[in-house]
Chain A
Amino acid sequence: MSRIIVITSGKGGVGKTTTSAALSMGLAQRGHRTVVIDFDVGLRNLDLIMGCERRVVYDFVNVINHEANLNQALIRDKRCDNLYVLPASQTRDKEALTKEGVGRVLDELSQSYEFIVCDSPAGIEHGATMAMYYADDAVVVTNPEVSSVRDSDRMLGILASKSRRAETNAEPIRELLLLTRYDPPRVETGEMLSVKDVQDILSLDLLGIIPESKAVLTASNAGVPVILDRESDAGQAYSDAVSRYLGEEVPHRFMTAEKKGFFNRLFRG
């Protein structure tokens, strides 16, 4: 039985694609056959973050339009045999994603993959609603910042009313919060919303906290999902999130600022 996971947020630039790349790689590395799909038709980026942009021949829209079959469009990750990428089209219009077409492709993928990760575009338009429509689980990527939290809440309303599970009165989508770009020192000085503040407002189960990290840009520059950078704080935080998603109990890290010694504080402020 496969699980369809949508990575969503409403707001743009909060880390949906970074998260899609990291979570799908993490699931695949633990032995689960995983496919990650870019739903951002017209502005594809997942292939870049995954480092397979030069291997794209056919895309998601080609498959929906019967111009290519799935095996022709899927790109196998060179670092992990269990991971495949289905890139978005760069040129077509968004309406190419039909509910029937997306449903058919997801159905076919669910025959041979355990996890189907859907990287949603920003906004609440067609592409975003298609990405979440068939989901079993939703990872709501949120920055500790007012507009992102508000958009996440709106997205929760859409998940609860416009998804297949909502329309068929099935068990609701499991919604998980992933707080990204978290900066503990700024939280401690009261400049940034804390995990608790965001949870008080959204009341979601916390999948993970990804600290603000230089490793994220470094990884995207190189086309390597940040979870592969095991030395980095962000990579470790994503790895913890994958464990939690799979049901392990892992304590949350990266919530507090590293303690500076007295002399450090004195001289470096």
Chain B
Amino acid sequence: MGLLDYFRNSRPDGTANVAKERLQILVAHDRAERHRPSYLPKLQREILEVIRKYVDVDMSAVSVNYEQEESHEVLEFNIILPDTVRHVV
């Protein structure tokens, strides 16, 4: 065992790099959440209510994206309207 180890590549298939990759993704996600304004979920709900007055969409059809760039913040709403726009009112 000792002899084999000695001649084998000293940095084999460790799992530390997997850990690091998972952490980098997770931490980036956690931080993005943390920096989002706390009013976003409420804003999303209220905007959805307004849209629903006119078009029949559900919660999953609306996505809110908040990004912080160097000098400004971008608040992006993406609303998928149904194929045939049906007037509710």
Mark A residues whose CB is within 8 Å of B: 145-146, 149-150, 153-154, 157, 161, 187-194, 197, 200-201, 262, 265-269
Contact = CB atoms under 8 A, between A and B. Distances in A.
B24 A201 contact: yes
Given A146-B19, A189-B10, A190-B13, A266 B3 contact: yes
Which secondary structure characterizes the binding site on chain B?
A: helix
Contacts of B17: 190
Nearest to A145: B19
Nearest to B2: A269
Nearest to A262: B6
B2 A201 contact: no
Q: Which 4 A-B pairs have the closest CB atoms?
A: A190-B14, A269-B2, A269-B1, A197-B20
A153 B30 contact: yes
Nearest to A190: B14
Interface string B1-39: 111011000111111110110111011001100100000
Contacts of A262: 6
Given A146-B22, A150-B26, A157-B30, A269 B5 contact: yes
Contacts, number: 63
A260 to B, nearest CB: 10
Nearest to B26: A150
B15 A190 contact: yes
22 contacts: A146-B22, A146-B23, A149-B23, A149-B27, A150-B26, A153-B31, A154-B30, A157-B30, A189-B11, A190-B12, A190-B14, A190-B15, A190-B17, A192-B16, A193-B19, A194-B16, A200-B24, A265-B2, A265-B5, A267-B2, A269-B2, A269-B5
A157 B33 CA distance: 11
B19 to A, nearest CB: 5
A189 B20 contact: no
B5 A190 contact: no
Contacts of A188: 10-11
Given A150-B26, A266-B3, 5 more contacts: A157-B30, A189-B12, A190-B15, A191-B16, A193-B23
> In this complex, which of B20, B23, B30 has the most chain A Cβ atoms within 10 angstroms of its Cβ?
B23
